[in-house]
Amino acid sequence: MSSHRETSDIFSLFVKATLLVSAVGSISLLFYSVFSNESQLISCLEYCDRVLLFDPRKFNKSNNISGDSYQETNISHILFGIGGNSKTWNQRRHYCELWWKPEITRGYVWLDEKPPETEPWPNTSPPYKVSEDTSRFKYSCRQCYRSSLRIARIVKESFELGLDNVRWFVMGDDDTVFFVENLVMVLAKYDHNQMYYIGGNSESVEQNVLHSYSMAYGGGGFAISYPLAKELVRVLDGCINRYSWFYGSDERIQACLSEIGIPLTKELGFHQVDIRGNPYGLLAAHPLAPLVSFHHLDYVKSIFPGMNQIDSLQKLNEPYRLDPGRTLQHSVCYDFNRNWSVSVSWGYTIQLYPSLVTAMQLAMALRTFQTWRTGNNEPFTLNTRPMSHDPCERPVVYFLDRAERVGRIQTLTTYKRHVDEGNASCGRSDYASVQAFLFVNVTSSILNPEIFKMAPRRQCCEIFNSDKEVVQVKIRGCNQFESVTPP
Ligand SMILES: *[C@@H]1O[C@H](CO)[C@@H](O)[C@H](O)[C@H]1NC(C)=O
Ligand SMILES: *[C@@H]1O[C@H](CO)[C@@H](O)[C@H](O)[C@H]1NC(C)=O
Ligand SMILES: *[C@@H]1O[C@H](CO)[C@@H](O)[C@H](O)[C@H]1NC(C)=O
Ligand SMILES: *[C@@H]1O[C@H](CO)[C@@H](O)[C@H](O)[C@H]1NC(C)=O
Ligand SMILES: *[C@@H]1O[C@H](CO)[C@@H](O)[C@H](O)[C@H]1NC(C)=O
Ligand SMILES: *[C@@H]1O[C@H](CO)[C@@H](O)[C@H](O)[C@H]1NC(C)=O
């Protein structure tokens, strides 16, 4: 056990950061105050914003960006533009209201027409604007929705509002769920004074082949920096006419950006969720990047069994509130005393195997889902492995039960064994010895968002002194020369 040698956990990072910074200025007081007041850590918005204030550039006067004194990007710098429809908003708004924070997030839902006056506009929804008429534009896509013209123009209409201090225009659908703190964390890595187009692809190869590998899928959401938006709005209406046969609004945007010469910067936390079936495998093997968005959640099974999708997202929000950056982050480790492998997707699920499965295998998504358009078993733009029908080749699965903060910088998440009714469990004694454990408890330190600006490395974990019912796992930064290597 080497739990006291946590080379890259949050505390040592902060000690280093504080030392570095106090050499430049007297900002160490700020760090002290971040951690001296417990209640400040509960609110992750505050946590993220304050931690994100640490940027060496800010304290380096000879290196100030674009002349002004540099301020780290925060939530107020993002203007959201959500594509909505006045007739369906009432059914769709629940996804948006999960992440929208009145008075904190800025932006609008753009509607096709004024909503009926009979009901007041909900104050939990973003305020709405009615899009300009688009009937003057050419449109020649058969069996498509003309509304894609209107949605493509949201970025232009948002820009033309001329609001102050906007660094990023973030577009999403009415069924996009954003993880706002993580979105800020991701965008803060980039210089908003340059021209950036940031988002993600589809998970289904067939979709990328049909639409494009070079575009940010609109439902997963994408971000356009201010200087890029400024160039885009000049040419967008012309593009809309020129690409009149295109299917989606996102394709029109990408076609236009390609004329400006700006490629997509892919960020792995944007999820279009172009899959059918059970998204479990996808979420249980998330890449090493903050979770930024989900889309299409009405088209897949609930992410937690036995709950509807909205309740599932609220459940995932419990650990997310405690440690946004760590949510769904993957760690794998072995217990050589019992020849077990454990695969953690923090805040969501644990898989236990009574055998030593390679790290490479564990990083592949279990194929619990099918492709979006044709419902096939493959291909995807991520590595997958089959979910065996033989229960003796499947992991024993646990789902998040509860999440709490322990002390100032630690969390404890508890996962409960899932019984897949109707599917026999494996009768072998090695499986029975795993199944005897009803819970897995995972402890970890709150992840410093700065970690996502460094060279990526999966965090390490260890399994230790389990009591009768509970397997205990500790996640921590890896030590030098540490690897998940079978004997
Ligand atoms: C400040 O920026 C300059 C120019 O980029 C660099 O040479 C110098 O090392 C930086 N100083 C610190 C303390 O980071
Ligand atoms: C940043 O640089 C500009 C000139 O490039 C200078 O006018 C300004 O005062 C600098 N800001 C700070 C905070 O040093
Ligand atoms: C965000 O940054 C701006 C500077 O651009 C600052 O005025 C504002 O107070 C910051 N907001 C938060 C919530 O930290
Ligand atoms: C673990 O596996 C190794 C071979 O991979 C074997 O030699 C050892 O006996 C096993 N230990 C247990 C406790 O099953
Ligand atoms: C596991 O976590 C639960 C809280 O969810 C706690 O009550 C229990 O004592 C923990 N068990 C162990 C062995 O740490
Ligand atoms: C049992 O597992 C198989 C393979 O994943 C799945 O197709 C089937 O639906 C499961 N049965 C039940 C009742 O859940």
Q: State whether the Cα torsion 263-131-150-374 is positive or negative.
A: positive
Confidence of residue 297 (pLDDT cuts 50, 70, 90): very high
| pLDDT, mean over the chain | 87
Confidence of residue 10 (pLDDT cuts 50, 70, 90): very low
Is residue 32 predicted with pLDDT exceeding 90?
no
Any idea which ligand is nearest the CA of 63? 1
Domain 58-266 fold: Spore Coat Polysaccharide Biosynthesis Protein SpsA; Chain A (3.90.550)
Nearest CA to ligand 1 atom 11: 60
Domain ranges of the chain: 2-45, 58-266, 323-476
For ligand 5, is residue 355 a contact (CB within 6 Å)? no
Nearest CA among 126, 255, 132 for reference residue 197: 255
Among the ranges given (42-46, 226-230, 382-386), the one the predictor scored with the smallest mean pLDDT: 42-46
Nearest CA to ligand 2 atom 1: 67
Find the mean pLDDT for residues 442-455.
90
Is residue 54 predicted with pLDDT exceeding 80?
no
Is residue 438 predicted with pLDDT exceeding 60?
yes
pLDDT 10s digits, 256-285: 999 999 999 999 999 999 999 999 999 999
Q: Which residue has the tokens 């996009």?
A: 176
Nearest atom in ligand 3 to the alpha carbon of residue 74 is 1
Q: Could you tell me which residue, 129 or 147, shows the higher pLDDT?
A: 129
State the distance from the centre of ligand 2 to the C-alpha of 63, rounded, in angstroms.
9
Confidence of residue 70 (pLDDT cuts 50, 70, 90): low
Find the mean pLDDT for residues 464-486.
91
Q: Could you tell me which residue, 116 or 64, shows the higher pLDDT?
A: 116
In this structure, which long-range contacts are made by residues 99-106, counting pairs with CB atoms below 8 Å and at least 24 apart in sequence? 99/177, 99/178, 99/179, 99/180, 100/124, 100/125, 100/126, 101/45, 101/75, 101/180, 104/45, 104/75, 104/76, 105/75, 105/78, 105/80, 105/180, 106/75, 106/76, 106/78, 106/79, 106/80, 106/163, 106/166
pLDDT at residue 448, as a whole number:
86
pLDDT at residue 13, as a whole number:
44
Nearest CA among 343, 288, 295, 350 for reference residue 319: 350
State the distance from the centre of ligand 1 to the C-alpha of 266, rounded, in angstroms.
29
Nearest CA among 401, 392, 369 for reference residue 305: 401
Query: Contact, 69 vs 148, CB < 8 A?
Result: no
Among the ranges given (40-54, 254-268, 415-429), the one the predictor scored with the smallest mean pLDDT: 40-54
pLDDT at residue 222, as a whole number:
98
Is residue 485 predicted with pLDDT exceeding 60?
yes
pLDDT at residue 35, as a whole number:
39
Find the mean pLDDT for residues 332-339.
96
Among the ranges given (130-144, 158-172, 199-213, 359-373), the one the predictor scored with the smallest mean pLDDT: 130-144
Confidence of residue 69 (pLDDT cuts 50, 70, 90): low
Q: Could you tell me which residue, 157 or 24, shows the higher pLDDT?
A: 157
Find the mean pLDDT for residues 133-138.
92
Is residue 12 predicted with pLDDT exceeding 50?
no
- Model pTM? 0.84
Confidence of residue 468 (pLDDT cuts 50, 70, 90): confident
Is residue 228 predicted with pLDDT exceeding 50?
yes
pLDDT at residue 6, as a whole number:
37
Nearest CA to ligand 4 atom 5: 487
State the distance from the centre of ligand 1 to the C-alpha of 59, rounded, in angstroms.
10
pLDDT at residue 28, as a whole number:
35
Q: Which two tokens stand for residue 480?
A: 């030098």
Confidence of residue 118 (pLDDT cuts 50, 70, 90): confident
Nearest atom in ligand 3 to the alpha carbon of residue 165 is 5
Find the mean pLDDT for residues 89-111.
95
In this structure, which long-range contacts are made by residues 477-480, counting pairs with CB atoms below 8 Å and at least 24 apart in sequence? 477/6, 477/7, 477/8, 477/9, 477/12, 478/7, 478/8, 479/2, 479/5, 479/7, 480/7
State the distance from the centre of ligand 2 to the C-alpha of 20, rounded, in angstroms.
22
**For residue 57, what are the CA distances in angstroms to 43, 54, 75, 230?**
26, 9, 19, 26
Is residue 57 predicted with pLDDT exceeding 90?
no
Any idea which ligand is nearest the CA of 397? 6
Beta bridge partners of 197: 224
Residue 72 has φ and ψ, to the nearest 5°, of -60, 140
State the distance from the centre of ligand 4 to the C-alpha of 486, rounded, in angstroms.
10
Is residue 124 predicted with pLDDT exceeding 70?
yes
pLDDT at residue 295, as a whole number:
97
Confidence of residue 453 (pLDDT cuts 50, 70, 90): confident
pLDDT at residue 23, as a whole number:
41
Q: How large a percentage of the chain has pLDDT more than 70? A: 86
**Ligand 2, CB cutoff 6 Å, lining residues:** 61, 64, 67, 69
pLDDT at residue 112, as a whole number:
96
Residue 458 has φ and ψ, to the nearest 5°, of -60, 145
pLDDT at residue 4, as a whole number:
41
Is residue 64 predicted with pLDDT exceeding 60?
no
Confidence of residue 36 (pLDDT cuts 50, 70, 90): very low
Confidence of residue 83 (pLDDT cuts 50, 70, 90): very high
Find the mean pLDDT for residues 452-463.
93
pLDDT at residue 425, as a whole number:
85
Confidence of residue 393 (pLDDT cuts 50, 70, 90): very high
